């Protein structure tokens, strides 16, 4: 049975876990015993455990946070013996190195780091990277078949692997929120009628072509006629101006020549 200090501390840590879960892990206390926490670890990218889902348990003593928890991993991983206590610096194998400031998030982050190492200890096994990848592909189907997993995480008992709240997006420099839509694709953008195809192969018009703007709100044939008339007028004005410009220049040259001759 948890002491008042342990109950208060673990309750606070669950609130923190919900607000700021560490990368690649998720954990929650058992509904009937706050000293027992089930956790899920997702294998980090670029590791032999990528795509894997690993279920385990943290067994806190009633004296927590002044004593460390026992740690087990149920899911076969190729790194730890299933359902056997794991020996590492934050577990009850090393009470002398335990720091009461460490939390559930700290413990699980340390467990992920230890999982990625090759250090051999009590509760670990030796396998190749290829074997670890094979275990990773089998992990989620294996978990879904286990009653412990289904009772602890019913929301993760889906046909395909479901992402945890924090999949390390911040650590990889990705934004927390989806990027804004590109300025080139907006509600007023002209889209081709064939820019989307339905599953049956029929064309689907997902955007309306914007009409060309004309002056004074005129549209249709009248607008086309007006455009044509303005085009012809502009052409004639250009021709007349060219002819008059040269005429003026010639007349000016004649006048200058006569003035020069009379002088």
pLDDT band at 1 (very low <50, low <70, confident <90, very high): confident
Q: Where are the alpha helices (DSSP H) in the chain?
A: 4-19, 104-116, 129-144, 147-152, 221-262
Verify that 248 and 150 share a domain, yes or no: no
Look at residue 257 in the predicted model and tell me its pLDDT: 54
Percentage helix, strand, coil for the chain under 3-state DSSP, each rounded to 5: 40, 10, 50
The Cα 89–Cα 263 span in angstroms is 114
Let me know if residue 239 belongs to a domain: yes
Verify that 244 and 145 share a domain, yes or no: no
**Which of the listed residues 96, 122, 156 is the one where a domain comes to its end?**
156
**Which of the listed residues 87, 121, 156 is the one where a domain comes to its end?**
156
Let me know if residue 227 belongs to a domain: no
How many residues make up the chain in this entry?
A: 263
- Provide mean pLDDT across the span 61-89: 97
- Number of domains within the chain: 2
Check which CATH number belongs to the domain holding 83 and give it: 3.10.110.10
Let me know if residue 208 belongs to a domain: no
Verify that 126 and 251 share a domain, yes or no: no
Range of the domain at 12: 4-156
- Provide mean pLDDT across the span 74-87: 97
pLDDT digits (tens, 9 = 90+) for 239-255: 555 555 555 555 655 56
Verify that 149 and 261 share a domain, yes or no: no
Count Cβ atoms below 10 Å from residue 186 Cβ, excluding itself.
8
Strand pairing of 36-42 and 25-29? Answer: antiparallel
Q: Torsion angle, CA of 161/167/173/176, rounded to 10 degrees? A: 100
**Nearest one of 44, 39, 37, 35 to 67, comparing CA atoms:** 35
Verify that 248 and 138 share a domain, yes or no: no
Residue of 28, 87, 125, 157 marked active site:
87
Let me know if residue 163 belongs to a domain: no
Verify that 14 and 136 share a domain, yes or no: yes
- Provide mean pLDDT across the span 178-198: 34
Verify that 130 and 27 share a domain, yes or no: yes
Verify that 36 and 141 share a domain, yes or no: yes
| Of 213 and 89, the one with more pLDDT | 89
Residues of the chain with pLDDT > 90, as a percent, come to 62
Residues 6+ apart with CB under 8 A from 116: 44, 47, 49
Let me know if residue 184 belongs to a domain: no
Reply yes or no on whether 157 is catalytic: no
Let me know if residue 220 belongs to a domain: no
The Cα 13–Cα 44 span in angstroms is 23
Look at residue 240 in the predicted model and tell me its pLDDT: 53
**Which of the listed residues 129, 156, 183 is the one where a domain comes to its end?**
156
């Amino acid at each position: 049975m948890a002491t008042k200090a342990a109950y208060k501390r673990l309750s606070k840590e669950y609130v923190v876990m919900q607000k700021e879960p560490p990368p690649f892990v998720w954990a929650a206390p058992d509904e009937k015993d706050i000293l027992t926490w089930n956790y899920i670890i997702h294998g980090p990218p670029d590791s032999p455990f990528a795509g894997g889902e690993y279920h385990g348990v943290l067994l806190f003593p009633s004296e927590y946070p002044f004593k460390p928890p026992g740690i087990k991993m149920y899911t076969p991983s190729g790194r730890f013996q299933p359902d056997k206590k794991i020996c590492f610096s934050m577990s009850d194998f090393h009470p002398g190195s335990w720091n009461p400031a460490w939390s559930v998030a700290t413990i699980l982050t340390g467990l992920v780091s230890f999982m990625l190492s090759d250090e051999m200890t009590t509760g670990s096994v030796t396998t190749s990277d290829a074997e670890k990848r094979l275990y990773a592909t089998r992990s989620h189907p294996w978990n879904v078949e286990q009653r412990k997993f289904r009772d602890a995480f019913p929301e993760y008992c889906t046909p395909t692997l479901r992402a945890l709240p924090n999949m390390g997006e911040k650590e990889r420099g990705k934004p927390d929120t989806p990027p804004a839509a590109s300025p080139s694709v907006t509600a007023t953008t002209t889209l081709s009628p064939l820019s989307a195809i339905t599953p049956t192969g029929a064309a689907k018009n997902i955007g309306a072509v914007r009409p060309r703007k004309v002056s004074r709100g005129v549209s249709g044939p009248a607008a086309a006629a007006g455009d044509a008339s303005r085009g012809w007028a502009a052409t004639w004005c250009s021709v007349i101006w060219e002819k008059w410009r040269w005429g003026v220049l010639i007349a000016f040259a004649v006048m200058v020549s006569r003035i020069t001759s009379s002088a």
